[in-house]
A = this chain, B = another copy of it.
Amino acid sequence: MNGIKIAVVQMEVVSGKPDINVNKIVQAIQEAKKKKNDLVIFPEMAVAGYLLGDEWENESLIKKLMEINESIRESSEGITVIWGNVMADFDKKGEDERIRKYNAIFIASNKKWVSNNILNGYSIKTLLPKYREFDDERHFFSMQKLANEKDIKIDELLKPFKIKTKNGEMNLGLTLCEDMWCEGYLINPTEILLKNGADLIINISASPWTWRKNIKRHKIVRNLLKNNPVNFIYCNNVGIQNNGKNIFLFDGSSTVYDSNGKIMAVAKPYQEETLEINLINKKNKLGNIENDYELVSEERDTQELYEGLVYGIKKFFEQTRIKKAVIGISGGIDSAVSSSLLVAALGKEKVLGINMPSKFNSIVTKNLAGKLSKNLKIEYKIIPIQDGVDLTIKQLRENNFEISDVTKENIQSRDRGSRILAGVAACVGGVIINNSNKTEMALGYTTLYGDLNGALCPIADLYKWEIYRLAKYINEINKQKIIPKEIFEIVPSAELSDKQDITKGLGDPIIYPYHDKLIRAFVEFRKDPKEILEWYDQKIIETEMRLEDGLIKKYFKDRDEFKKDLEEKWKLFKLSYFKRIQAPPIIAVSRRAFGFDLRESQNQTYLIDRDSDLL
């Protein structure tokens, strides 16, 4: 290998729209040719998208996608093209007894399929993820299963593809996404390819953004190359894709690494961009961009989060072609952040703020809602709900139903969500934006058909501390402070009864500084009360949960109080799943989002003697 010019195309993949994607691919091939590239690379599942749900079972779609593979091959005159798409074997069956499909990486050169003497024109994803949101095993047949079927070692299937360039030959090791994230698997596809003579590793991905994932990837690449230093190219798509209950943000961040695992080139997140790179020799060591493995900071996390959310909202509206975002503005922090994100994503014209006071809403929050909307320059209406609430209570009483205080609170919430907001959204051809945060979602501190309504939950995978940080960040990046400082100061409150009177400092029954982290322990660390109580007893709880020193003592005077709250919150968490079943789609940004990422069953809480004194 001696000098090769490569274009790494970080494209937006629109899932379910092969027409759009294939046009873009063909255009980018022409572009790459014009610029004298030898090789052009596209992301995993660049033709149909990655998260299609069970649409993978649609035979005529599969046939069409296979035809598209031929047409991309036809466009490869004078260049080598590598792209991700489905590979179907119509003569064989998958384990689901449908047409067998592989998640494949294709390679064509000069209008011909490139072969590695085992597979002609494509290789197959070896490691199929099936945790979190991933369902690869559901639809695709893995390289390991193919090896089992052929009764050969997988090493015999994972061979590099030799291509000729102007300056010599080159052995490309082709991998897909999870193939590089191989901890936990029995097989390390990169290692096998290197052993089999690859002198460049190419990984095409459809990899959504999550917290500090890119940092982790840099480390993994460095580790993969430790004993076999060759260049490594990571090509990821941008765009959003979803599985119904969750929307994932594909940040791209495509990267070319030198043979030490240092970054030679990196594409900007959430933008279409083509990286062009000239690899001189096999052990290229030109890492010319400051490596940022250790550049981890809160500020950076917040910025990435903000940019991701704004991008996600923008793309969601683009793809669903919805004209207007209708949002309830209460004067609290959640709706302040939510509406600020909307304006950043869609522009102020597309956002309609509605304040819906009942008799329990304070002048303070009503004024703050107005002030915020003025700062955002959005259209803003005040539509009171008291008449609706009174009518409902009257009708229920006439029918001799007893109405508890909690029921009265929920009637207000539903009046807002289902009578006013849903009505307004329908009138303006818009949708409701849901303002729930993750801790409320976890504890069911939300009303079905009320404040749980919406077509999108932009901040429901965020803890309250992240929401405050975003709020601060929003004020920092805007010259004028958008979010009034009083909104940072008032106590979080639903203002649904006298017991939640913020003017008396009364608010939600959630201690955010602690419960946020408790929910994180339940959801992301996968801990249960038994383990958390053990942390308490061992006096390591503040370390394990990353709490401020002394915080537990501040809120719970003794073990009994701590335990009582722990039990109560666990029960609420489990019980309130019935609400999450009907929750709108959540943008996933954490290491575990409610929806189709954390899969739950509606069961009674498990309360027996795994710690008989606990539950």
Contacts and interface: CB of A to CB of B under 8 A. Distances in A.
Contact of A96 (B64, B184, B241, B603): B184
Nearest to A608: B19
Contact of A585 (B59, B415, B602): B602
Given A426-B407, A449-B417, A97 B243 contact: no
A563 to B, nearest CB: 16
A418 B417 contact: yes
A408 to B, nearest CB: 9
A610 interface: yes
B601 A243 contact: yes
A14 B404 CA distance: 32
A243 B448 CA distance: 19
Contacts of A392: 388, 419-420, 423
A424 interface: yes
Interface string A428-456: 10000000000000000000111001010
Contacts of A420: 392, 395
A23 to B, nearest CB: 10
A61 B606 CA distance: 9
Nearest to A409: B426
Given A61-B610, A414-B418, A427-B401, A186 B149 contact: yes
A564 interface: no
A609 interface: yes
B602 A242 contact: yes
Contacts of A388: 388, 391-392, 395, 419
A189 interface: no
Contact of A455 (B61, B241, B578, B608): B578
A378 to B, nearest CB: 15
A425 to B, nearest CB: 9
Contacts of A613: none
A402 B427 contact: yes
A381 interface: yes
A49 interface: yes
A301 interface: no
Interface stretch (A50-58, A276-284, A492-500): A50-58
A463 interface: no
A449 to B, nearest CB: 4
Nearest to A394: B387
Interface stretch (A137-145, A211-219, A508-516): A137-145
A606 B18 contact: yes
Given A417-B449, A419-B415, A528-B60, A407 B391 contact: no
Contact of A449 (B95, B453, B605): B453
Interface in A313-340: 319-320
A396 B319 CA distance: 28
Contacts of A52: 601, 603
Given A59-B526, A391-B387, A396 B427 contact: yes
A604 B16 contact: yes
Given A599-B53, A601-B52, A244 B423 contact: no
B57 A526 contact: yes
B387 A600 contact: no
Interface string A94-116: 11111000000000000000000
A609 B19 contact: yes
A603 B51 CA distance: 9
A600 B57 contact: no
A35 interface: no
A19 B609 CA distance: 8
Contacts of A610: 60-61, 63-64
A455 B581 CA distance: 10
A12 to B, nearest CB: 14
A11 interface: no
B184 A94 contact: yes
* Residue of A127, A244, A401, A404 with most partner-chain B CB within 10 A: A244
B427 A419 contact: no
Nearest to A606: B16
A462 interface: no
Contacts of A417: 418, 449
A131 B96 contact: yes
A363 interface: no
A17 B17 CA distance: 44
17 contacts: A16-B601, A18-B608, A19-B607, A55-B600, A55-B606, A58-B528, A60-B531, A131-B138, A135-B599, A243-B601, A244-B580, A319-B603, A319-B604, A414-B423, A418-B418, A419-B419, A422-B448
Given A17-B604, A49-B603, A241-B601, 20 more contacts: A14-B604, A52-B601, A53-B600, A54-B526, A54-B599, A54-B600, A58-B528, A60-B528, A64-B610, A95-B184, A97-B183, A243-B599, A244-B581, A319-B603, A381-B399, A407-B423, A411-B426, A417-B418, A448-B453, A582-B583
